[in-house]
Structure 1
Amino acid sequence: MKITIPTKTITLFLLFIICSKLHAQEKEKIQIMFVGFDHLNQMYNGSPTSNIFSDKKQAELIKLTNALAEYKPDFIGVEDDPKLQSFEDSLYSAYLKGNVKFKDYKSGARESYQVGYRLGKMLGLEHIYAVDNENSTSQSLLKSGDNFELFMNGLKKLQATARPLKQSVQNDSMSIYDYIRYMNEPELIDMTHHLVFNLPAYVVNGEFSDGLNTIDIGEIDNKYIGAEYITLFYNRNLKIYSNILNTQLKTGKKRLLIMFGQAHIGVLQDLFEENPNYEIVSPLKYLK
């Protein structure tokens, strides 16, 4: 028995399949991975074992880069302001051609070069994207106030955890690979996030330090000096968030890897968790 399906029915069925596929593509989330660093250009303390360009540490950085390469990002964002994108492009292009030796470069130990550029070259990426905001902030900005000791106690707790680890890297008893993996453990990210975005709110009737390279902060309400401190940090990270969003929108990339100082990671993750277009991928999935 031959069954004839009307042409109109077939057409509607095909349209349904096409629309379903388009809808699925529209809902496909952008993958984003944040990797927090203790800035590598601040690692050197005068000892040979703390030198990022030693054979041992270069091998550790290659191991770290190889692990992150398994994520296969098509976008690498680094801690430079978008105003410097043309410089970033020029330097990265020279690096790809073998015309840059970062060992001889003033800030050549930066993780954006040691890991970001190396990873970009390994994956055949044409650009490294500058997504920072140039407004600088410092944990030393908060100087005094009522309940200032609560903030200082939190700072000392973080330092008591992080400083011995950094010293272990500097004396070669811990690898950079293991250090960066530990820096991205949720517990340590939460500790840093709590220090910067929670504890300072206790501090009132205080002052900021003088002579620090901070943004033009305008008029400050010293009664809420701790809240003002949080505002500065949050404002900078909101602008970083905007830079990432708009650079992704412009490039259309789908697998982003963002490399920043570890203090930025908690707040950036919070912002992207609330964005339905994004899915956060933990670096610990690849840093075994």
Structure 2
Amino acid sequence: MTLNYFKAACLTLLITLHFSCNLKEGKSSESETISTNTQTDTVKKTASKIPVLNIGSFHFRFTPDAHKVEFNEEGASEQAEIRALNEMLAKFKPTIICVERTPENEAEINEAYQAYLKNNDKLDSNYGETSMVAFEIARLNGIKKIYGIDHHMEYNYNIGNEMVNSIDSLTYNAYIQNPFAHDPEFNVNPEELSLLDHFKLMNTPKYQDFLMNINADILTYVGSENGFEGADEATKLYQRNLRMFSNINRIPMKSTDRVFILSGGLHAAFIASLMKRSPKYELVDPLAYLK
């Protein structure tokens, strides 16, 4: 038996004995302490996890992404579609709203939000989906502050086309040439969909897996003979989204809070994958509100 194995076995035994003693002595094991940098909040283990409505969106206005959906956010019909969408999502009744903006930009976003509260006859398109969707949902629920959770990192999604691939160029090239071969239902022109149908498509688990695969995981098939250039590039995307998740965890929360998150579809996919395994959060099905 190795020393590490012996230590692990002892740790497991101690945990088991501690739990057994609590039961025998009638001690309550229903509470635990969740600590953040700003507060300590005690919640019951038996209580529900904090519900989260995690919504993936395309970018309404400016986007640094490789692909942009043409969308006239100033059009009367588009404004009406967004208002209808907002009313659906607002029924979640969030107490905390997070958007794809960095914490450093929170002051600017919240200043714009306060201005919108004073004049909301027309949706504010200055910050794309952040101001057109998140601002209105926050207003409808009487929320005073919006949190930024984004974290910027450089990422070269095109590295597979910029180097000689010695790992598995066959799989990579075939996938890039036809990423819809295994998921033909996603081979649609989003500009031909209604706003609601587009959001429904983007917020299904299968589509989120597709986004993670085409933007990150496929790069694990790319690299030099003895290198991991593709995987290392994909790691940056994972790292960025892990840091975004850490930013969510920085927000002071109570067990009674309800969290609404609005971000790009790929970020929403990463956040969903992390939320599913979280001891703190419980994902709410977006399609329960997108109807």
Q: TM-score, normalised by structure 2?
A: 0.73
Alignment correspondent of 1:82: 103
Residues 1:60 and 2:81 are matched in the alignment: yes
Match of 2:271 among 244, 268, 271: 268
Given that residues 92 and 117 in structure 1 are in contact (C-alpha distance below 8 angstroms), is that contact kept between their aligned partners in structure 2?
Answer: yes
State the Cα distance separating 1:139 from its structure 2 match. Answer: 3.0
Deviation at 1:282, TM superposition (A): 1.5
Identify the structure with the greater helix proportion: 1
Equivalent residue, structure 2, for 1:204: 223
- Equivalent-residue separation in structure 2 for 1:21 and 1:129 (angstroms): 30
Aligned counterparts of 2:271 and 2:43: Cα–Cα separation in 1: 25
Deviation (angstroms), 1:236: 0.3
**Match of residue 157, structure 1, among 179, 186, 204:** 179
How far apart in 2 are the matches of 1:190 and 1:44? 20
Q: Distance in 2 between matches of 1:284 and 1:133?
A: 27
Query: What's the % identity of the aligned pairs?
Result: 27
Q: Residue 194 of structure 1 corresponds to which residue in structure 2? A: 213
Given that residues 86 and 136 in structure 2 are in contact (C-alpha distance below 8 angstroms), is that contact kept between their aligned partners in structure 1?
A: yes
CA deviations 1:1-49 (Å, max 9, x no partner) are: xxxxxxxxxxxxxxx9xx698789522311112111121115674xxxx
1:240 aligns with 2:244: yes
**Alpha-carbon distance between aligned partners in 1 of 2:171 and 2:116, rounded to the nearest angstrom:** 46
Conserved? CA contact 1:30–1:279, under 8 Å: yes
Report deviation, 1:272. Answer: 1.9
The verdict on how the C-alpha distance between 1:152 and 1:75 changes in structure 2, with shifts beyond 3 A counting, is: farther
Q: Decide whether the 8 Å contact of 1:181 with 1:284 is kept in 2.
A: yes
Q: 8 Å contact 2:241–2:271 — kept in the other structure?
A: yes
Is the Cα contact below 8 Å between 2:123 and 2:136 reproduced in 1? no
Partner residue, 1:231:
235
Q: Deviations over 1:220-274 (max 9, x none)?
A: xx8101111111001101110100011144x777111111111122221222222
Whole-Å separation in 2 of the counterparts to 1:84 and 1:26: 34
Structure 1: distance between partners of 2:195 and 2:84: 9
Residue equivalent to 2:59 = 39
In 1, distance between residues paired with 2:153 and 2:142? 31
For residues 81 and 116 of structure 2, what CA distance do their matches in structure 1 show?
Answer: 20
Structure 1 segment 1-288 matched on structure 2, within 5 A: 25-27=43-45, 28=47, 29-41=49-61, 45=70, 50-98=71-119, 107-108=126-127, 110-137=128-155, 139-142=157-160, 143-144=162-163, 145-146=165-166, 147-148=168-169, 150-155=171-176, 156-157=178-179, 164-168=188-192, 174-205=193-224, 223-249=227-253, 254-288=257-291
CA RMSD of aligned residues (A): 3.0
TM-score scaled by structure 1?
0.74
For 2:263 and 2:236, the matched residues in 1 are separated by 17
For the structure 1 residues 139 and 163, does the alpha-carbon distance in structure 2 shift closer, same or farther, using more than 3 Å as the test?
A: farther
Answer whether contact 1:72 1:123 (CA < 8 A) is retained.
Answer: yes
Question: In structure 2, how many angstroms separate the alpha carbons of the residues matched to 1:54 and 1:84?
Answer: 27
- What is the DSSP-based 3-state SS (H/G/I as helix, E as strand, rest coil) of the residue aligned with 1:259? strand
Q: Which amino acid aligns with 1:78?
A: V
- More deviation in 69-78 or 141-150? 141-150
**Cα drift, residue 279 of structure 1:** 0.7
- Distance in 2, Cα, partners of 1:234 & 1:195: 13
- Please give the alpha-carbon distance, in whole angstroms, between the structure 1 residues aligned to 2:281 and 2:217: 25
Structure 1: tracts of 5 or more residues without a match:
1-15, 169-173, 207-221
- Map Cα deviations across residues 38-93 of structure 1 (whole Å, 9 max, x no partner): 21115674xxxx41221111111111111101111111110000011111121111
Cα deviations across residues 106-125 of structure 1 (Å, max 9, x unaligned)? x44x1111111111111111
Extract structure 1 runs of 4+ deviating beyond 4 A.
19-25, 42-45, 99-103, 158-163
